[in-house]
Amino acid sequence: MRDSTGHQAVMRDEAVAALVPRAGGVYVDGTYGRGGHAMALISALDDSACIWLLDRDPSAIALARERHGDDPRCHILQANFASLGEHLRAAGLAGQVAGILLDLGVSSPQLDEAERGFSFLREGPLDMRMDNRAGQTAAAWLQQVDPATLLRVLKEYGEERYARRIVAAICSARDAGELPATTTGLAELIADAVPRSEPGRHPATRSFQAIRIHLNDELGSLERFLEDVCDLLGPHGRLVVISFHSLEDRRVKRFINRRSQVGDLPPGAGAVPPEKRPTLRRVGRAYRASDEEVSANPRARSATMRVAERLP
């Protein structure tokens, strides 16, 4: 399961099998990460395939270019998967894609690199940007965000029950000129504000998740991608999405369910017009990692994989 960097791609074999690799075809890995899924997919395809590898993270793209830059089948692009449609249309490939894979969230190497600022377990700057060459850092955002917005972010994206206490602590530290500039410093501030923590979970887990999701517009990117994906997939093309928390999975599940059903029709409408017909077929329900994989890679415990197929 591990690649040469030590990273374990969650449900790698299951995800690639769900894409139903064909001899040739256009495939997209929209979240290259450390390449575990991509390398397995590339190995399953023949020389006539066209494989697009995307990621927002410059280090992930640098690794992809190092590994696959000489492979004429591979098109490597630093981009948010939300903009995939723009690039595929420019290449004349919209409506021709045989499979798209997304592995959402933060990769293990990103968490392991303290300077990226994602992990509260390793001291580093409060960054949290997927693309650390653009956008606002977590430290800069916390210095200027208003309390109401911070409260909304912690509640909506972190589902944090002690959001008000945490907001009060952050704003008090900021007003005193003592707002931490490091990951461990912020984690300690949050831990001190939380009266009770969940067993086995650090008190800052939900807050760090919420801030990261907000800064990187992760849910907005997912929603923009999903609304475009049916126009990108060809007949019988597959969509495979692996998510790691309910906020992502809920959106994927609702999208697939909505696109798998006949649209609302007025009473006595008769034949279903084309724009109301289902565009996707759900393949299975929710796939989970095996007990063996979870034992080898605890991160897989929270993973959910959903699969859908484009109807002709």
279-285 average pLDDT score:
95
Supply the pLDDT for residue 23.
Answer: 76
232: tokens are 């990108």
Q: Which residues contact 86 (CB under 8 A, 6 or more apart)?
A: none
* 211, pLDDT greater than 70: yes
Name the token pair of 237.
């093309």
- Whether the model clears a pTM of 0.85, i.e. scores above it, the answer is yes
d(CA 79, CA 50): 18
217-229: pLDDT as tens digits? 999 999 999 999 9
Kindly report, residue by residue over 174-197, the tens digit of the pLDDT: 999 999 999 999 999 999 999 988
| Nearest of 61, 64, 68, 63 to residue 45 by alpha carbon | 68
Average pLDDT over residues 43-69: 95
pLDDT confidence of residue 132? 83
Strands 74-78 and 50-55: parallel
For residue 62, the model assigns a pLDDT of 95
Helix (H) or strand (E) holding 231: helix 218-232
Q: Hey, which bits of the chain come out as E strands?
A: 26-29, 50-55, 74-78, 97-103, 233-243, 280-287, 304-310
What pLDDT, on the 0 to 100 scale, is given for residue 111? Answer: 65
pLDDT at 273 over 70: no
**Of residues 138, 130, 134, the one with CA closest to residue 56:** 130
Q: What is the mean pLDDT of residues 87-115?
A: 86
The DSSP secondary-structure symbol of 307 reads E
Instruction: Please report where in the chains the tokens 């909505």 appear, as a residue.
Output: 258
Q: How far apart are alpha carbons 304 and 288 in whole angstroms?
A: 5
Q: CA-CA distance, 270 to 179, in Å (whole number)? A: 63
Predicted pLDDT of residue 263: 55
Is the per-residue pLDDT at 135 higher than 70?
yes
What three-state secondary structure class fits 24?
Answer: strand
With bands split at pLDDT 50, 70 and 90, how would you rate the model's confidence at 114? low
Model confidence at 4: pLDDT above 90: no
First-last CA distance in the chain: 34
**Mean pLDDT, rounded, of the chain:** 90
